Amino acid sequence: MDFIKDGFTISTEKEKLDIDLIHSFLNRTYWAEGISKEVITRSIEGSLCFGVFENDKQVGFARMITDKATFAYLADVFIIEEFRGRGLSKWLMEIIMSHPDLQGLRRMILVTKDAHGLYKQFGFTPLINVDRWMNILDPDVYKR
């Protein structure tokens, strides 16, 4: 599925994704530093992915880890530095939030250190009843 606007395309076709670009970018982030290309490839295989392109050049990415019925986790959202400030992240979120496979879900979650303003525009709020949530976190897993 492709969406076109102002010379850019958002595609959900995984074969169009530039794994090298995704790896290069994510490997430098606070949330995935040290991640291997093999782990990225596996994560893409198990997710609903959204690539942002200018012509054939990938300039952004996001993925939803979802059962497409009840739950989705938004992860690995980025627009490369030289394409920021053009409204691409907002358009990407509009496409994600309106995707047919993500309608009627009971819960969508994400984790962010610094993009709360973007996600609030799409209905994301801080967790409530945080005492009910549990997790296993291994922040250095990609560095080993």
The pLDDT tens digits for 114-139 are 999 999 999 999 999 999 998 888 88
pLDDT attached to residue 140 = 82
The pLDDT tens digits for 102-111 are 999 999 999 9
Q: Where are the domains of the chain?
A: 2-143
Please choose, from the candidates 108, 42, 121, the residue with its C-alpha nearest in 3D space to the C-alpha of residue 69: 108
Rounded to two decimals, the pTM is: 0.92
The pLDDT tens digits for 11-61 are 999 999 999 999 999 999 988 988 999 999 999 999 999 999 999 899 999
pLDDT attached to residue 44 = 97
144 pLDDT higher than 80:
no
Per-residue pLDDT band for 141 (boundaries 50, 70, 90) equals confident
CB-based burial, 103-130: b 16+ in 10 Å, e otherwise: eeeeebebeeeeeeeebeeeebeeeeee
The pLDDT tens digits for 52-90 are 999 989 999 999 999 999 999 999 999 999 999 999 999
Q: What CATH code is assigned to 2-143?
A: 3.40.630.30
End-to-end CA separation in angstroms for the chain: 37
